[in-house]
Amino acid sequence: MTLREAKVGQTVKVTKLTGTGPVKRRIMDMGITKGQTIYVRRVAPLGDPLEITVRSYELSVRKADAQMIEVEEVA
């Protein structure tokens, strides 16, 4: 499952980053790394961007970037 497929209110854990080069670097600069827990707060009406909480920071992630973040649901 990717971050883009995660539902609002769901907490997920990053398992893999599939982006390359500058895209992967941008994702990692936001604090999104393997093993990190992400809470999906809100999705804009047209699906872009996703508003998430990572390490107590509230961020907006474009859906193209969210597609490159593989996650698993936290029980």
| Domains of the chain listed by start with CATH number | 3-73 (2.30.30.90)
pLDDT band of 50, cuts 50, 70, 90 = very high
- Quick one: pLDDT at residue 11? 95
- Quick one: pLDDT at residue 41? 93
- Quick one: pLDDT at residue 19? 80
Q: Which residues contact 13 (CB under 8 A, 6 or more apart)?
A: 35, 36, 37, 38, 71, 72, 73, 74
Mean pLDDT confidence for 52-57: 92
Does the pLDDT value for residue 75 go beyond 80?
Answer: no
pTM (2 d.p.): 0.85
